[in-house]
Amino acid sequence: MANDDAIIKVCDLINQGDLKGMAPYKDNEIVADCTDCEKPIRLSDCKIHAAAETKYFCPECGDILVVISCPHPSGKPWPGRGYRLGDLVLRNAVQLRLQRGNIELTIPVSSEALTSKHPDESE
């Protein structure tokens, strides 16, 4: 089992964004709206597989909810791919919600999060 602290988590990416003075987020404050289960799944409850890409799986249906990866090597834009945060891309296949107290911030789904080919790549 890899050292948990060595894994780049979704919260680590979120915390690289503009938090407007708020304390850093943790994965247990981030909820993914699994489209298959039709219910919110706390990211801290997800199964995480960390390799070249870090993937979060729904603990109930096994769907990929979020992928953290490097940007595409071409450097070309990939509409709908996800959110570039620092050196990584947050690719959320489902809507994410950051929840803290009565503040909720929504991160809209990245429609191309799980697409395997860049739109500029030929068949």
Q: Is the Cβ of residue 33 or residue 112 nearer to Zn ion in the bound state? A: 33
Kindly give, in sequence order, each residue whose CB lies less than 8 Å from that of residue 81, ignoring residues fewer than 6 positions away. Answer: 72, 89, 91, 110, 112, 113, 115
CA 30 – CA 44 distance, rounded (Å): 8
Site residues for Zn ion, 59-118, by CB under 5 A, read 60-61
We find the least distance from the C-beta atom of residue 27 to Zn ion, in angstroms, to be: 16
93 vs 98 by CB, closer to Zn ion: 93
Q: DSSP string of 85-107?
A: ETTEEEEESS-EEEEETTEEEEE
31-70 binders of Zn ion (CB under 5 A): 34, 36-37, 58, 60-61
Nearer of residues 46 and 90 to Zn ion, judged by Cβ: 46
For Zn ion, the closer of residues 62 and 108 by Cβ is 62
To 5 degrees, how large is the angle CA 51–CA 84–CA 12?
60
Q: Give the separation between CA 115 and CA 14, rounded to whole angstroms.
A: 22
The least CB distance from residue 58 to Zn ion, in Å, is: 3
Q: Which stretches of the chain bind Zn ion, using CB under 5 A? A: 34, 36-37, 58, 60-61
